[in-house]
Structures are given as C-alpha cells and as structure tokens.
Amino acid sequence: MEQPTSITASALLDFCNGNDKALCTIYSAWLPELYLVSFRYVKTNSEAEDAVADCFEKLLKMPIEKRKKKFIVDEIKLKALLLVMVKNRSLDIIKAKKIRFSFAEGLLNLVPIVGHNGSKQTLTDENFKLLLDCLPEKEKEILALKIEGFTNQEIGIQLGIPQKTVANKLSLARKKVKSLWKIFME
C-alpha cells in the first residue's frame, strides 16, 4: 500500500537536499509495486530484488545538484522515473542472461561430446577447464566477463581497452579454444 503523498513528497524534498536516508521512506513506500514490475520480467525473486536495489543505488549516487534539477526544477516524477528504471534494469538482466546462455552454448557447440558415459563427461569437463587455463591471461579475463553476460562495450570499459580489441581477443580465444580442444581430446 502506497503511503500518503505528503510523506513521499517530504522525503523526496529531503533527498534532493542531500539527506540520503530520506530515500528509505520512498523505498519502503514503493518497493512492493516496483518489485512486482520487475518480477513480471525477470520471473525470480532475487533478480527482481536486485533490479529494484540497483535503481535505488543509482539514485543514491546521483549528485545533489542533479537531484534538485531533475526532481525540483524539471519536476520529473520520481515514481514514474523509478518505474522506467526498474523496467529497463529488468530487461538488462534478461539480456545478460540470454547473452551468457548463448555464449556458453556457443562454447559447448565447439566441443563435441564424445560419449554419454558419466565418467567420460567428467573427463571432458576437466579437459575444458585445463584448456581455458592455457589461454593468455587477458583473453581468459575477457572470456570470463563475456560468459558472465557483459557486452563487448562493457568489458572494454571495465578493462580500459577499446571495444574492437575486446572483439578481437574474443575471436582469438574462440579459435584457440577450438584448436586446443582437438589437442586435448586426442
């Protein structure tokens, strides 16, 4: 149930004036609705909670002057903004899961499964881990970030390298994985 507008309006004014704790009042008032919006997209409790928390964290990082301009001068409605932020963050989570899944699936497609025997699969998994250890450190790091669901642009920003370099390193890593896999399986 949403709290009366005067409480959230007062909390918003306090938040815009630099009182970060005032955001707790807004969080408590709007959490159920924001959570449900996110849950409709991501379908899991933990991811819905994370999406909402990420949005509030973003608000907390906003400089005081920007808060005043956005919510007082420009009169942007915080609740409407949060609803859009939560929806977009939820869609980002879905996109990251799809990228992670498709990338992992792509790696598995490079690796032919030789048998259905459990011990054979364990051996295959162990060989694959050994194979990844043979990659150069930078390629291994980029590959790990890609598997986690980051885009090439996000990886580039995190590592301080151009997006094109990330794409090239991923391509090299894939080729090495494919050729090394043949050696490991002989």
Give the model confidence (pLDDT) of 63-114 as tens digits. 999 999 999 999 999 999 999 999 999 999 998 888 777 766 666 666 555 5
Please determine, for residue 122, whether its predicted confidence score (pLDDT) is greater than 60. no
pLDDT at 120: 47
Average pLDDT over residues 15-33: 93
Give ∠ CA 133-139-143 in degrees, rounded to 5: 85
Of 39, 155, 53, give the one whose Cα is nearest residue 90: 39
The mean pLDDT value of the chain amounts to 82
Average pLDDT over residues 2-30: 85
Taken in order of first residue, the domains within the chain and their CATH numbers are 5-91 (1.10.1740), 111-185 (1.10.10)
Of 149, 117, 105, 112, give the one whose Cα is nearest residue 127: 112
Position of tokens 């909670």?
Answer: 49
What is the band of 1 on the pLDDT scale with cuts at 50, 70, 90? Answer: very low
pLDDT at 2: 42
Structure tokens at 89: 């963050």
Q: Using CB atoms within 10 A of its CB, is residue 86 exposed (0-12), middle (13-18) or buried (19+)?
A: buried
pLDDT at 124: 58
Task: Give the C-alpha separation, 120 to 70, whole Å.
Answer: 60
- Render pLDDT for 142-157 as a digit per residue (tens, 0 to 9): 877 887 788 888 888 8
pLDDT at 144: 78
Please determine, for residue 20, whether its predicted confidence score (pLDDT) is greater than 80. yes
pLDDT at 44: 92
Please determine, for residue 3, whether its predicted confidence score (pLDDT) is greater than 50. no
DSSP of 39-82, one letter per residue?
Answer: HHHH-SHHHHHHHHHHHHHHHHHS-HHHHIIIIIIS---HHHHH
Please determine, for residue 138, whether its predicted confidence score (pLDDT) is greater than 70. yes
What is the band of 125 on the pLDDT scale with cuts at 50, 70, 90? Answer: low
Average pLDDT over residues 13-30: 93
pLDDT at 111: 55
Of 169, 161, 109, give the one whose Cα is nearest residue 142: 169
The number of CA neighbours under 13 Å toward the Cβ of 99 is 17
CB atoms within 10 A of CB 160: 6
Please determine, for residue 47, whether its predicted confidence score (pLDDT) is greater than 80. yes
Please determine, for residue 24, whether its predicted confidence score (pLDDT) is greater than 70. yes
